[in-house]
Structure formats: structure tokens, C-alpha cells
Amino acid sequence: MHELILGGARSGKSACAEGRARQWLAGGGEATLIATALAADAEMMERIARHRAERAQRAPGLQTHEEPVDLGGALRRLGRPGQLLVVDCLTLWLSQALLPPPGHAPLELPRLQAELLDALDALRALGVPVLLVSNEIGCGVMPMGREVRACVDALGALHKAVAARCDRLTLMVAGYELRVK
């Protein structure tokens, strides 16, 4: 069973997914988090380190695999019987491809489309449960920049495509879950 967990920044999305992973681990399964963040500057490196430390406390035994680009390949490589996969998060994965940090080139449109389709195909084909975390968008003001608006549009389309492939859709609001699907 796949689940998409959406919510605003700091709404409890990651903690929710880690709680589900903790339950999975307690039942004797294995769980791996696919971290999509690209550590491109000191602040992001510090943020990633903080997330690792928090995750180790909230979900001991949850293994981490870092993959900022090839999400479909990571899902296929890591998905095996008895395994739960957690993707945290789709927002970073897509926004880094479209609006990369300094020193990194954006993915060209054909490559980005191929990566998106590959991730969606992998999700559809996997026989193991996947929890996907992402920031809900479109609840605020419209961004001023063309590139940022394009990123918001692409993320909205990705959310719809992923939600269609998921059995459950959960919206996190101030640390509380709202089951949408």
C-alpha cells in the first residue's frame, strides 16, 4: 500500500512517515528512507545533519539512502520483500531539478520528464509499500517569478500523479493527520 503524506512546511509530515516506519520496524520489517536533499551549501548541510539526528531518535533502525536525482532507480534498487520505503521529500527532489542550488545545473526538460516518468513507473511496479512525503502547494500567494511558478505547477502535477498511484493520501495540519483518501 502506497501513501502520499502532504502538508505545509513543519506540519509534521516527516514525523508522521517516521512513525509509520517505526511501526513497520516493530512488526519485524525493514525500512529505508530515501532522502532527496542535495547538500549544496552549509545551511543545507546543517539542516540535513539535524534531520538525521532527529530521525535517529524518532525511528531507530530506519536506514537512510541519499538520492537527489534517480528516484525511480532508488525505488527499484531498495524495494524488496519485507521492506518499507519512505521518500522524503518529493518537493526537494523536483525543485532541485528545476531550480537547483548554485553550482548545479537544472535538469534539461527531456531528462526531467524521463526522471518523473521513471519514478512514477517504479512506484506503480513496486510490490512493497512506499510512503512519499511532500509539501502541499497552492495554499498561499502566487510566486512572482516565472521559474518558481513553473515549479509550483510541476509539483502540483506530480502530486496528482502520485496521489493517483497511492492507496492513501494524508494531509498533515499542525501535527495532526487528516485522511483525504
| Residue positions annotated with a catalytic role | 51
Strand order of the sheet with strand 130-135?
63-66, 30-35, 83-88, 130-135, 3-7, 168-173, 176-179
Query: How far apart are the two ends of the chain, measured CA to CA in Å?
Result: 12
In DSSP terms, 176 is beta-bridged to 173
Q: Is the dihedral of CA 126, 130, 135, 138 positive or negative?
A: positive
3-state SS class at 158: helix
